[in-house]
A and B are shown apart, each in its own frame.
Chain A
Amino acid sequence: MRVPDLAVIENGAAIVPEDIALEIYRRICRTRTFEEGLIKAVKDGFVTSPVYLSSGQESIAAALSVAVPGPVIFAQHRCHGVYLSYGGDPVKLRDELMGLPTGTSGGRAGSNCIQCHENGVVMHGHHGLIGENVPIAVGYALASKKSTLAIFGDGAAEEDYVLSSLGFAATHRLPVLFVCEDNNLSILTAVETRRSWKVSKVAAAFGMEAVDLSDDPWTIFLKAKELVKKTPALMNIHTCRANWHVGIGTDGPVEWDRFLDVRNALKGAGLWDKAQKIEEAERFCMEKVWEQGQLRRLSGK
């Protein structure tokens, strides 16, 4: 049974310090408002390459990026949220999606392969095979001993090489935080159709601490802060993809709307006035990124 409050700490928005609660919200809004602009740009024909949206799931990267700053990041295809939350430049992401030489990989790679090597962010690009980033992350941690973040989906978690990478990281006690963004779907196939086991149980059996929780950002923040000190460790986070697997359409009503829940939580914590200003500021910034005249010039359309 998937529920929005699995292992969720009650009143999290009020428990975490106010500046942190608001910073997490700012990063949530960053991804959401960037992708609002992107969706429009796709509709208007300015972005024609395939896009993998993070909307609906953005609380995970937002909370992680505040809780676990500065890791070497290996994300999967659904990575706009990771890139933006950790401090990637939205203009460069836009340019990558538009196939421009000023993009994160010179416009050669695209939505599912975003990298960042500036502003103190180290995020290695994915190449498109689900879960391929997990053994690479583990090898990176082995060779560098640096704090490493491996983010993948519930589908990727089934890849044999992901499972054996968890085992290797457990054997050698490597500094990797594994985060599974479990949106219950591999494209359109639900987890229960695909497997009877939980990745958290497998990770625990390998000998690392592993938790299942839903995508309440305050809980993710608190838990990630704790687990990053005990790596290797795994978080399997239940979340809901708002849009299609690839593209800007929607598959119908989502199980829960975390963005709405987060707003309500901030209201409950008496932070709504400040939060609203933050959201407006982010939207204003992203409207500039996606401004029509500029898109016309850049795309020559």
Chain B
Amino acid sequence: MGTRTVAETIREITRAHLEGGGMLLGESISAVGWVNNTVPDAGNIMELPMTDVAGAGIAVGSALAGRRPIFVVRFQDFLILNGSPLIFYAAKLKGLHEKSAPVFVRAIAAEGLGPVHSGVLHSLFMHFPGFKVASPMTPREYEDVWRVYMESDDPFICSEHRASYSNKDELTDEIMAGADITIYAISATRFEAKKAARLLKNDGVRCNVVNIVWLKPFTLTKRITEPLKESRIGLVVDPGHEIAGASESIAYSMMINTGYPVKALGLEDRTKCLCPPLQNRAPDAGRIVEAAKELLAGAGRVFT
């Protein structure tokens, strides 16, 4: 186990950035627990008024001026409002004008907080050209994503999840010889995928778990494709909506590349509501197990 949590890692990265002349912009940064204790009490923090469209534009303008702003979005649902300056301006600058506005968007996801605060919207930004999109869940992954951002001139969507903030562990891929299925997991479903693999093992299913941090660019490296070529069945799990989302998109890329069936598992096509039966929660270990078994059964490989 590492010594620092993800939240502490973010805070330290941010502190160094602000002390080095960077900026951080967002709504209610200091008053409401410093964004789950991920923001240090430091200089160069700009409290934005509750103006989500203009606020994103102000962050993009700051990026254009070369300040490498961190733009904090406390709930990913608000990205809908933040969208136009990010998608229509920051992400298009290079393609249109060979200029850049490298803003680092800390897009925070959560679960079980009802229709307005439980969204996972990173897929939206995979769709549009011009972004890099990553979803780090461990301290080292976060540091890696930040380093790549500082070396790049693209706008970044860092799809964070509250479920990761207390995590100190690095999550390594779990690969075994003769695996029956490979589970590819994104964002907070990575914690559930690990549990699912243990449950499946109890039922005699040998299961690889491969971690996906980079959603865009998504590169089909050997680390990604080799386990699938062994197991010949794959399952991509994402806490966002399944239709036209990260899970479907990545499953499709892998299927085309390897020729093996890969299923997508994300949210059902209905609104996330508040009360438990209608929450439409991200796939948990139980649902991942179920989906894996269904896939295996479809391929004529039945486990009890």
Contact = CB atoms under 8 A, between A and B. Distances in A.
B127 interface: no
B238 to A, nearest CB: 30
Interface string B58-80: 11111111110100000000000
Interface string A106-141: 101100010101000000110111001011111111
What's the interface size class on B, roughly?
20 to 34
Interface in A135-184: 135-144, 146, 160-162, 164-165, 167-168, 171
Contacts of A136: 57-58, 60-61, 64, 85, 89
9 contacts: A106-B98, A129-B89, A136-B85, A139-B61, A140-B64, A143-B69, A146-B65, A161-B84, A164-B54
A140 B66 CA distance: 9
B296 interface: no
Given A128-B88, A136-B61, 19 more contacts: A113-B96, A124-B99, A125-B99, A129-B88, A135-B53, A135-B56, A135-B58, A138-B57, A139-B61, A143-B23, A160-B54, A161-B57, A161-B84, A161-B85, A165-B51, A167-B49, A168-B49, A168-B54, A171-B49
B124 interface: no
Interface in B103-133: none
Interface of A: 105-106, 108-109, 113, 115, 117, 124-125, 127-129, 132, 134-144, 146, 160-162, 164-165, 167-168, 171
Chain A contact residues: helix, strand, loop or mixed: helix
Contact of B62 (A113, A134, A139, A146): A139
Contacts of B62: 139-140, 142-143
Interface in B207-245: none
Contacts, number: 114
A106 B51 CA distance: 34
Contacts of A132: 57, 84-85, 88-89
Contacts of A168: 48-49, 51, 54, 58
Contacts of A146: 65
Interface in B239-278: none
B46 interface: yes
Contact of B54 (A115, A127, A141, A165): A165
A135 B49 contact: no
B65 A144 contact: yes
A142 B46 contact: yes
A14 to B, nearest CB: 40
Given A115-B97, A115-B99, A132-B88, A143 B61 contact: yes
